[in-house]
Amino acid sequence: MDLVSGRRRRAVGPDFRRALRQVQWRFTQCALVQHAQPDQRPAGRRTRQRGRDSGDPRAFAGWLGARYQAGFDVNNVVEPALHQLVKETGESASFYVREGDIRSCVARVEGPQSVRHNVRIGERLPLNRGAPGRVILAFSGTAGEPYESIRNRGYHISLGEREAELASVAAPVFALNWRLLGSMCISGPSSRLNKAKLEKHAKLVIRAANQLSYALAGSRSPATPAVVSRWHP
C-alpha cells in the first residue's frame, strides 16, 4: 500500500526490478572501489577528496553526481522509472544530479503533449530555482525555508520560478547509505499544470522516486530520511 496516495501500488515489471538490482550492485561496487583506492593525487585534489569523505552532504552530492554519470547505465536504471511517470502523468520526466552549485539533467523522457517544456540531457540549470534544484538543496541540508518544509513533506512544487510559464514537481532519490543521489521530476507549461494538478502528480513522483531509492539504498535504516521511512515500498 502506498501511504502517500492511499492506493495499492501497481506491480513493477520483472525487467525493471532486474535493472534496479543490477544498478544497486554496480553502484555499491563503484563506491567501494573508489573508497578503497589509495589517493595518489596532488594535494589540492586530495583536499576535495577529504571534503567528500568529511560527511558534508554538499560535497558528497557533487561526488555522487560524478560517480552516477561515470558508473551507471542511465537507459537501464532511471529511464524505466521516467517512462512510467510519463505514462501515468502525460508529462515529460527528468532526473537531475548536483554538480557543485548547479544541477545537471542526466536522464529525460519527453511526454506525449505537443506543447511541453524542453530540456536537453546534459543541460546545466540553477539549484536555487525550480523544483528539482530546490529538492536537491533541501536534502543536501540547506537550512531555512523553503527547505525545512520541503524536507518535511518530501517533495516540492514550483510554479513560474525559473521560467514564467514553467511548472514542475520533484522528489529526492537516495542511493547507497541513504545519501542523496539527485531528484526526479515532471514538468510542463503552467497553463496545463496548475497547483491542484501538480499536487495530484506529486504522489506519483514520490512513489517513483522512493521505489528507486529503496532499490538503490536497500531497507530502511537510521540514515533513512524520515519522510521516506514513512513510505512503504
pLDDT tens-digit series, residues 68-100:
444 556 667 788 999 999 999 999 999 999 999
Query: pLDDT grade, residue 230 (50/70/90)?
Result: confident
Q: Give percent of the chain with pLDDT exceeding 70.
A: 67
Kindly state whether residue 165 falls inside one of the protein's structural domains.
yes
Q: Which pLDDT score, from 0 to 100, does residue 115 have? A: 75
Domain count, the chain: 1
User: pLDDT, tens digit, for every residue of 24-70?
Assistant: 444 544 444 443 344 444 544 444 444 444 455 545 444 444 554 44
Task: State the CB neighbour count (10 A cutoff) for residue 184.
Answer: 29
Kindly state whether residue 6 falls inside one of the protein's structural domains.
no
Across the chain, mean pLDDT equals 76
Q: Which pLDDT score, from 0 to 100, does residue 177 have? A: 87
Its domain, for residue 170, covers 74-229
- Using CB atoms within 10 Å of the CB of residue 153, give its burial: 0 to 12 exposed, 13 to 18 middle, 19+ buried: middle
Q: What is the CATH classification number for the domain harbouring 129?
A: 3.30.450.40
Cα separation, 180 vs 58, in Å, equals 9
Q: Which pLDDT score, from 0 to 100, does residue 38 have? A: 45
Kindly state whether residue 194 falls inside one of the protein's structural domains.
yes
Kindly state whether residue 38 falls inside one of the protein's structural domains.
no
If DSSP states are collapsed to H, E and C, what string results for 80-91?
HHHHHHHHHHCC
Kindly state whether residue 106 falls inside one of the protein's structural domains.
yes
Cα separation, 137 vs 139, in Å, equals 6
Cα separation, 74 vs 91, in Å, equals 19
Whether residue 149 is predicted with pLDDT greater than 80 in this model: the reply is yes
Q: Which pLDDT score, from 0 to 100, does residue 185 have? A: 96
Contacts of 13 (CB under 8 A, 6+ apart): none
User: pLDDT, tens digit, for every residue of 178-194?
Assistant: 999 999 999 999 989 99
Query: pLDDT grade, residue 233 (50/70/90)?
Result: low
Phi, psi of 170 (to 5 degrees): -140, 155
Kindly state whether residue 113 falls inside one of the protein's structural domains.
yes
Query: pLDDT grade, residue 113 (50/70/90)?
Result: confident
Kindly state whether residue 138 falls inside one of the protein's structural domains.
yes
Kindly state whether residue 19 falls inside one of the protein's structural domains.
no
Q: What average pLDDT does this structure show over 3-13?
A: 41
Q: Which pLDDT score, from 0 to 100, does residue 216 have? A: 82
